[in-house]
């Protein structure tokens, strides 16, 4: 059962977080271009990228759900590497929900928005996920290392 849950957890990360990371990263440079040109095609693409971010952000709820299930079966929920990854995942979710998505919406609404700041928040979101990946691979303090 552990291998099945771990597989689902990893697939959820790839399928859910990957598209958010890519779409969110594509948004700021296209926003700069769209704001400068006023091109309707660029604005339509921005709406699509924002929708991808929103939909996959909801789908990504499966990541911690299956992560907790896997950690529970493995009896590692109190390990440092799990706690650190949970905290980093929570911070990444907050950055996405409180900064990246609202800034994207401001651009779509035509509100003057610093796209450099949006790019920074998106970079922080992606770095947090990179950090989670490193923690999950190296598992500091783990007793599971061979």
Query: Alpha-carbon distance 36 to 4, whole Å?
Result: 49
Q: Are 6 and 39 in contact (CB under 8 A)?
A: no
Instruction: Tell me what the mean pLDDT of segment 66-87 comes to.
Output: 94
Q: Are 51 and 62 in contact (CB under 8 A)?
A: no
Instruction: Tell me what the mean pLDDT of segment 96-120 comes to.
Output: 96
Q: Which tens digits make up the pLDDT trace of 51-76? A: 999 999 999 999 999 999 999 999 99
**pLDDT the model gives residue 124:** 98
103 domain residue, yes or no: yes
**pLDDT the model gives residue 140:** 77
**pLDDT the model gives residue 144:** 59
What distance lies between CA 48 and its chain's CA centroid? Answer: 17
Whether the pLDDT of residue 113 is over 60: the answer is: yes
146 domain residue, yes or no: no
Query: Alpha-carbon distance 117 to 95, whole Å?
Result: 12
Q: Which tens digits make up the pLDDT trace of 8-45? A: 999 999 999 999 999 999 999 999 999 999 899 999 99
143 domain residue, yes or no: no
Q: Are 34 and 82 in contact (CB under 8 A)?
A: no
Range of the domain at 10: 2-138
Query: Alpha-carbon distance 13 to 120, whole Å?
Result: 22
Q: Percent of the chain at pLDDT above 70?
A: 96
99 domain residue, yes or no: yes
144 domain residue, yes or no: no
Q: Total domain count for the chain?
A: 1
Instruction: Tell me what the mean pLDDT of segment 73-92 comes to.
Output: 94
Instruction: Measure the N-to-C terminal CA separation of the chain; round to a whole number of Å.
Output: 21
114 domain residue, yes or no: yes
11 domain residue, yes or no: yes
Q: What is the CA angle 40-42-47, rounded to 5?
A: 95
Total length of the chain: 146
Collapsed DSSP state (helix, strand, coil) of residue 48 = helix
145 domain residue, yes or no: no
């Amino acid at each position: 059962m552990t291998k099945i849950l771990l597989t689902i957890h990893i697939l959820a990360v790839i399928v859910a977080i990957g598209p958010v990371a890519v779409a969110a990263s594509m948004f700021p440079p296209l926003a700069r271009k769209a704001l400068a040109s006023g091109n309707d095609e660029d604005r339509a693409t921005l709406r699509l990228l924002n929708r991808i971010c929103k939909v996959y952000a909801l789908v990504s709820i499966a990541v911690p759900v299956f992560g907790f299930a896997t950690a529970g079966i493995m009896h590692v929920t109190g390990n440092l590497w799990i706690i650190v990854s949970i905290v980093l995942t929570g911070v990444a979710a907050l950055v996405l929900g409180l900064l990246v998505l609202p800034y994207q919406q401001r651009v779509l609404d035509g509100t003057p928005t610093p796209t450099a700041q949006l790019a920074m928040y998106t970079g922080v979101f992606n770095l947090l996920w990179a950090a989670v990946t490193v923690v999950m691979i190296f598992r500091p303090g783990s007793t599971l290392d061979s």
